[in-house]
């Protein structure tokens, strides 16, 4: 059985994504995971907020059409700076809208859940998570930029939770 998972790390300036293909034997004894794509959707600073949200909307539609994921995994909103939190919440609203428009099932994970799933430690640092992503996906190097690696980490977390 093969499954495509799209992982999303929402942000207004940069939204990270990672698409993976996962397969497992019918009896669950064997599983493989591979990278389909990863990257970022970026919006321009100084551009009107509505226009930035349109860019996210349109690019997410393209990703959904291109990869037709069986499941979308999203990093839950993490409150750390109020000014940034509002912008991320607006971007996350666009993500939720696009998923609803595609009738896409989704799961959400906190940053601590993602760290725990990939490293076994809920307070792991960014480098430890990136190293785990690189190892699990048999990549030659850590995916760049960081937001793309985060998108892959979210997708892997969904796969591990199957």
Q: What angle do CA 19, 132, 88 make, to 5 degrees?
A: 55
Q: 3-class DSSP state for residue 75?
A: strand
Query: Which among 9, 30, 37, 125 is annotated as catalytic?
Result: 9
Query: Which among 37, 70, 147, 150 is annotated as catalytic?
Result: 147
- 32: β partners: 23
What lies within 8 Å, CB to CB, of 1 at 6+ separation is 23, 24, 26
Q: Does residue 72 contact residue 6 with C-beta atoms inside 8 Å?
A: yes
Query: Which among 59, 75, 125, 146 is annotated as catalytic?
Result: 75
DSSP H or E stretch at residue 108: strand 106-109
Instruction: Please name which of 26, 33, 30 lies closest in space to residue 7, comparing C-alpha atoms.
Output: 33
Q: Is 75 a catalytic residue?
A: yes
Q: Is 147 a catalytic residue?
A: yes
Q: Which residues are catalytic?
A: 9, 75, 147
């Amino acid at each position: 059985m093969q499954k495509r998972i799209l992982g999303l790390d929402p942000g207004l300036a940069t939204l990270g994504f990672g698409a993976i293909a996962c397969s497992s034997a019918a009896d669950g004894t064997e599983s493989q995971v591979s990278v389909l794509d990863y990257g970022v959707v970026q919006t321009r600073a100084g551009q009107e907020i509505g226009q930035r949200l349109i860019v996210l909307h349109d690019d997410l539609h393209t990703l959904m059409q291109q990869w037709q994921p069986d499941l979308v995994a999203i990093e839950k909103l993490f409150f750390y700076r109020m000014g940034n939190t509002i912008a991320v919440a607006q971007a996350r609203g666009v993500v939720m809208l696009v998923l609803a428009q595609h009738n896409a099932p989704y799961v959400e994970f906190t940053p601590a859940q993602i760290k725990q799933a990939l490293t076994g430690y809920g307070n792991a640092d960014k480098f430890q998570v990136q190293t785990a992503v690189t190892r699990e996906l048999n990549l030659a190097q850590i995916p760049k930029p960081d937001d793309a690696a985060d998108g892959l980490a979210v997708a892997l977390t969904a796969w591990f939770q199957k």
